[in-house]
Amino acid sequence: MGEPRDGSGHTHHEAEALLRHFASQKESRESMAQKKVDVLIIGSGHTGGLAAKILTEKGISCTMLDAGPMLNFEKYRELKPVHELPYRGFDAPGRLPHVFQSSEFNANQWVDEKVVPYYHPPEQPYNWVRVRSVGGRSPFWGRQSFRHSDYEFKSKDHDGFGENWPISYKDLEPYYSPVEALFRVTGHTDGLSQYPDGNFIEDKSPWSDAMQRFVDSGKKLGVPVTKPRSSLGKDGMAASINLFLPDAVATGKLTTIPNAIVRQVTMDKKTGLADGVIFIDRHSHREMVLKARVVIVAAGTLETTRLLMASEICNSSGALGHYLTDQIYGAGIICSVPEARDGKAAHGLMGGGALIPRFRNLETKTNGFLRGYAVNVSCNNGPFDARALPFYGKELEQKLQSYNGSGFSTNIMGETLGHYENHVSLNKQVVDAWGMPTLNIYTKYTDNETNMAKDYIDTMAAMAEAAGFDILIKNYEFNPPGYSIHEQGTARMSDDPKKGVVNKWNQSYDMKNLFITDASVFVSAGWQNPTITMCALTMRASEYLAEEMRKGNV
Amino acid sequence: MSRVEAMARFHTPNIPVSQPDAVAMTDVSYFTPLRYATLVHLCEIMMPAGDDYPSASKAGTPEFLDFYLGASPDDHQALYNNGLDQLNADSMKQFNIPFAKADAKQADAVIRPHLKGWMNDHPPREGQVRFINLAHRDIRTATINSPAWAIAAEAVGERTPGVGLYWHPIDPGIQTWVNRGMAQATPTTKQKHS
């Protein structure tokens, strides 16, 4: 007969050994849970990625979480003819009703709102366009690369609306240049105060003749027409995953964890500081705790705001979630250059693009709206857009043949105003697929945007007419809020803790070891694509953070 | 070598596959017979055969749109149902002939007043003008993107039309939201036009 056994069938010695084993496992778990990472970065898009690069290169260990999977371009993408797709290019009916940018080719790259829903009142549409994968939206951005100017940073001084930023152009100027070097920005030096020049790969290409006519007609009306400014990136990509993260990986100090959905930033009740996060594994729903000395929230404006609201932190000012703003897109004109029709375009007549930087409300006031708009101009020597021609059947085919290579079009990028009433709130009744409360989004445009669009169309039409183009379409209607994918403002920066969520270093007023680097910190939208300014702010904030950590202040 | 290692080294055999349209047709099941007849005629009028390319009807566009509209949100279905009814009613009113039997001149009389150029995401908003222009866009798209059109392009030595960069589902973890997702989407916005 052997040793006596306990109720589980174990002998005394076996039970002792098991107890020792469990005790050691518990100790191990505790020591793991007690391990603190230096800097925890939530989100791996442009700003999360750049923060990781700068901090790791300064010797600071970073752990970066992303809610989505790692991308594998070889596995997930392939060239396909549209006739092989199940819906002939239309995509599954009703699949992504708020993502006008979606097509059957790219539908799988966007967040499905059945998985992470949000609400807007039916009469206040909002297009929340999201990507969840490592790199965030950075592999998919439009790459237009502009600096803000003091017309944006000191906008209240110019027209009295809203607030100034707590920084000026001079504060950010030293950071724009290295950011532009990383992105490899091409552009032309123009010397316009509202359109600060940068560290460009100089664009010395000549205008096509049709573009030159448009440039000349702009001069007569005081409208500057300049070369576009755009990031060339590397190897066909200008994303965090190829421009920033490889440098961070090379330091050996970056830990990247995909599929980690952060549901809460946790707080040390003794100090009131952030002390880590709770995240959920996307596949298994396993909940995990991660402790950190510093937290950087870089999840994108509205996801950052949702997380801070769900964590019930960083809102002593009451500004969190308010002042949501972006830019109007979608209004435009389509023209045909008569000399280019019927295959008669002379060499050099057509082609190229242009950018009209803001020109309204600079030195003079325009009636009907505050701020201003920029314009993307395209002189197209390819096929003409059939939708612009009110014909059908063989007559349409003849027109398409005739108009081929004669297209000239413009599209607006107009600043919208960040009213307090344009806000988001947390909806605890509707949760996403991982149990997180969702967002209600309440925002709408006003006469300011409508009047701005009217001025834009009328001005572009006058310029096109003066250039001798035939105007076929004048579309005054713009897309719903959110469409530009430039949402910003819901955790704005301020010199006054009562008016803003973060200070001028992107540092939370309520938790000095929590930084926000995405566009939620923007105070006013500007007409510019926000990426370059987001990254300049991130570089500045990261250098400040590293120094504060070195001094032991954070 | 273990069986698992051998399996891991196995490469997919090259077995050419065809699209179902090459051998099969879609059953028409959504539109009423009258509406479908109107749609077929509208397809033929809006996109007749070219010298080298098939007509919308030959490209299976009416059947495709019947399938597509049958699966579409209510507002898109209503746009088509009301629009096809109106087209037929206009033809009856002007010529006392169903649109499906209207000749080219008669069809033109009920279509042309509604044609309007548009751009970006902003088709005309007015009822029948909206329908005619969106249906026109859909008919052209479904035809140009059809397998029949691609075969015709190949036959005349053109490059394969409509090649784009397709994203497969990215490690979706579908089980997560199929099994656990209680969330509901907000209603389809009226401003989505496709």
Chain A partners within 8 Å of B79 (Cβ): none
Residues in chain B: 194
Top pLDDT among B8 and A28 is at B8
Question: Taking 50 as the threshold, does the pLDDT of residue B194 lie above it?
Answer: no
Q: Which two tokens stand for residue A67?
A: 């809610």
Question: What residue segments make up the domains of chain B, in order of their start?
Answer: 19-155
Average pLDDT value for residue range B132-145? 98
Question: What residue segments make up the domains of chain A, in order of their start?
Answer: 37-72+110-551
Question: How many Cα atoms within 13 Å fall on the side-chain side of residue A548?
Answer: 19
Chain B partners within 8 Å of A237 (Cβ): none
Asked if the Cβ–Cβ distance from A88 to B141 is below 8 Å, we say yes
Query: What is each CA distance from B165 to A82, A102, A346, B16, B58, in whole angstroms?
Result: 10, 13, 33, 21, 27
Asked if the Cβ–Cβ distance from B180 to A409 is below 8 Å, we say no
Asked if the Cβ–Cβ distance from A392 to B111 is below 8 Å, we say yes
Chain Cα centroid distance, residue A416: 16
For residue B72, give the nearest of A81, A89, A93 by CB distance: A93
d(CA B14, CA B12): 6
Q: What is the 3-state secondary structure (H, E, C) of A480-498?
A: CCCCCCCCECCCCECCCCC
d(CA A185, CA A194): 18
In chain A, the N- to C-terminal Cα span, in Å, equals 64
Chain A partners within 8 Å of B73 (Cβ): 93-94, 97
Q: What is the pLDDT of residue B25?
A: 86
Q: Which residue is listed with tokens 């004109």? A: A333
Q: Which of A29-33, A310-314, B112-116, B169-173 has the lowest mean pLDDT?
A: A29-33
Asked if the Cβ–Cβ distance from A87 to B147 is below 8 Å, we say no
Secondary element (H or E) of residue A462: helix A447-466
CA angle, B2 then B6 then B11, to 5°? 170
- Provide the residue type at A78 as one letter: E
Q: Which residue is listed with tokens 């009258």? A: B34
A97 touches chain B (CB under 8 A): yes
Residue of A nearest to B113 (CA): A390
Q: What is the pLDDT of residue A2?
A: 43
- Pick left, alpha or beta for residue A502 (phi over 0 → left; psi -120 to 50 → alpha; otherwise beta): beta
| Position B173 confidence tier, pLDDT thresholds 50, 70, 90 | low
Asked if the Cβ–Cβ distance from B192 to A434 is below 8 Å, we say no
Count of beta carbons in the 10 Å neighbourhood of residue A301: 27
d(CA A153, CA A196): 13
Q: What is the pLDDT of residue A8?
A: 47
CA angle, A201 then A206 then A207, to 5°? 120
Would you say A95 and A87 are in contact if contact means Cβ atoms under 8 Å apart?
A: no
Chain B partners within 8 Å of A110 (Cβ): none
Asked if the Cβ–Cβ distance from B192 to A390 is below 8 Å, we say no
pLDDT digits (tens, 9 = 90+) for B42-70: 999 999 999 999 999 999 999 999 999 99
For residue A120, give the nearest of B116, B172, B186 by CB distance: B186
Q: Which of A139-148, B16-25, B75-84, B114-123 has the lowest mean pLDDT?
A: B16-25
Q: What is the largest CA-CA distance in chain A?
A: 108
Asked if the Cβ–Cβ distance from B188 to A84 is below 8 Å, we say no
d(CA A143, CA A243): 13
Asked if the Cβ–Cβ distance from B147 to A83 is below 8 Å, we say yes
Predicted model pTM = 0.92
**Domain A37-72+110-551 sits in CATH 3.40.1530.20:** no
Cβ burial of A552 (10 Å; 0-12, 13-18, 19+) is exposed
For residue A431, give the nearest of B122, B169, B183 by CB distance: B183
For an interface test with B, give the residue of A387, A413, A443, A457 to mutate (most B CBs within 10 A): A387
Chain A partners within 8 Å of B117 (Cβ): 334, 387-390, 472-473
**Distance in Å, alpha carbon of A98 to nearest chain B alpha carbon:** 7
Secondary element (H or E) of residue B177: helix B174-180
Question: Taking 60 as the threshold, does the pLDDT of residue B178 lie above it?
Answer: no
A84 touches chain B (CB under 8 A): yes
Chain A partners within 8 Å of B131 (Cβ): none
Count of beta carbons in the 10 Å neighbourhood of residue A400: 15
d(CA B66, CA B48): 19
Q: Which of B178, B119, B70, B171 is nearest to A332 (CA)?
A: B119
For residue B68, give the nearest of A87, A386, A397 by CB distance: A87
Chain A partners within 8 Å of B150 (Cβ): 81, 83
Residues of chain A with pLDDT under 70: 1-34
Q: What is the pLDDT of residue A35?
A: 81
Report residue A36: phi and psi, to 5°: -105, 135
Asked if the Cβ–Cβ distance from A97 to B149 is below 8 Å, we say no
Asked if the Cβ–Cβ distance from A394 to B68 is below 8 Å, we say no
| Position B174 confidence tier, pLDDT thresholds 50, 70, 90 | low
| Position B26 confidence tier, pLDDT thresholds 50, 70, 90 | confident
Chain Cα centroid distance, residue A177: 20
